Amino acid sequence: MTAPLRADPTTVKVALGDRSYDIVIGRGLIASLGVRVAALRPCAKAAIVTDENVARHHLSAVEAALAAAGIAASHVTVPAGEGSKSFGSFERVSEAIIAARIERGDLIVALGGGVVGDLAGFVASAVRRGLDYVQVPTTLLAQVDSSVGGKTAINSVHGKNLVGAFHQPILVVADTATLDTLPPREFRAGYAEVAKYALLGDADFFSWLEANWRDVFAGGKSSGSSAREHAIAVSCRGKAAIVARDERETGERALLNLGHTFGHALEAACGFSDRLLHGEAVAAGIALAFGFSARQGLIPTPEAERAIRHLAEVGLPTTLQDIPGGLPGVEALMDLIAQDKKVKRGMLTFILVRRIGAAFVESGVGPDDVRAFLSEKLAAK
């Protein structure tokens, strides 16, 4: 499979009846943002929510695009990083949007990575009992995952994404040129979510990634640009199809959490800090999910090792020893896993795999099995 050469943007539809929306993917799309927003919500005002790092690179271009379409816009910035997914930031952004006189017919533009998208989307779900919002994701992770599907949230001291709402955007504009300014570590972390889509349900896509990941990383205006946009589009199509079938995660959508039960616990153990980015935690969590599946006899060990080897090859953490600063003991990790949103009546749920491209939801996983597995992994040299 090779990536098709494209000059025009790629559009992926999230089919949710009268709440359907498009994900538009391509280079230079911020320039068209105002026209796209005005077509959806004529005469609306906009409040842009962004972080300090993204604002330096892209805020002026977004403001100019909105102004050119006659859209009056204000903005509010938050500090970059996971710490902004907090009750304090939620309050400050909400009050700023109310102070800007954003009304029910107006909208919020979430300009940034997953933190900004989750925070701004949650604010949009609550202010004036619900505002429309547009996602303009500027990281690979956000373009392929967090900007799509309407999951919005902030963190609790007890764990990640425990306070939030399902609230779908009306449009996602994924300008791949914004990835040119992304630090290599952030891009690599986002790639973990690309690999996740292949590993959970698309073995052919995983084989393509094994052969073409270097072009995906090269991207930019080079010959790798088509590979990058192809990988983003395939990932978005995979997520859009699952979301359309299971919007509120009552069944199949839980598959999108491959690696996340372990990963969120690792993030919490690292204090939601730059020690471990979300995508890095997902990569480590996927490696643990494949390793645990092999330990349980669900997947042949060589196939599990193939998946883990690819994540390691691109430079992502795949062992607990890859996480800087050390981790707490197994009981502390088990306590964090017990806070996972998929826990039901105290029983653990994991996304496990029978082969590459064949993930499934396993409810009622025995805590003793997980405890023994983590003990082995913590003790590994």
pLDDT in tens, 333-359: 999 998 876 666 667 899 999 999 999
Give residue 120's identity as a one-letter amino acid code.
A
Inter-residue contact 45 to 72 (CB < 8 Å) = yes
CA distance 22 to 85: 26
**pLDDT tens across 26-52, in order?**
999 999 999 999 999 999 999 999 999
Residues assigned a catalytic role: 129, 151, 193, 239, 249, 253, 257, 260, 264, 278
**190-206: average pLDDT:** 98
Beta bridge partner(s), residue 23: 12, 172
Q: What is residue 203's predicted lDDT score, i.e. its pLDDT?
A: 98
Rounded to the nearest 5 degrees, what angle is found at the Cα of 275, between the Cα atoms of 261 and 166? 40
CA distance 289 to 261: 9
**198-208: average pLDDT:** 98
CA distance 378 to 284: 13
pLDDT at 57 over 70: yes
Whole-prediction pTM: 0.92
**260-280: average pLDDT:** 93
CA distance 214 to 68: 37
pLDDT at 381 over 80: no
Q: What is residue 5's predicted lDDT score, i.e. its pLDDT?
A: 45
**pLDDT tens across 298-313, in order?**
999 999 999 999 999 9
pLDDT at 211 over 70: yes
Q: What is residue 105's predicted lDDT score, i.e. its pLDDT?
A: 95
pLDDT at 6 over 60: no
Nearest to 36 by CA among 5, 6, 11: 11
Q: What is residue 304's predicted lDDT score, i.e. its pLDDT?
A: 98
Q: What is residue 188's predicted lDDT score, i.e. its pLDDT?
A: 98
Q: Is 275 helix (H, G, I), strand (E, B) or coil?
A: coil
Taken in order of first residue, the domains within the chain and their CATH numbers are 1-248 (3.40.50.1970), 258-381 (1.20.1090.10)
Inter-residue contact 265 to 333 (CB < 8 Å) = yes
pLDDT at 146 over 50: yes
Q: What's the whole-number average pLDDT of the chain?
A: 94
Q: What is residue 2's predicted lDDT score, i.e. its pLDDT?
A: 47
Strands 151-156 and 159-166: antiparallel
**118-146: average pLDDT:** 97
Q: Is the dihedral of CA 372, 374, 378, 381 positive or negative?
A: positive
Compute the radius of gyration of the chain from its Cα atoms: 20
Inter-residue contact 95 to 66 (CB < 8 Å) = no
Nearest to 298 by CA among 341, 254, 354: 354
Least confident of 38-47, 129-138, 318-327, 361-370: 361-370
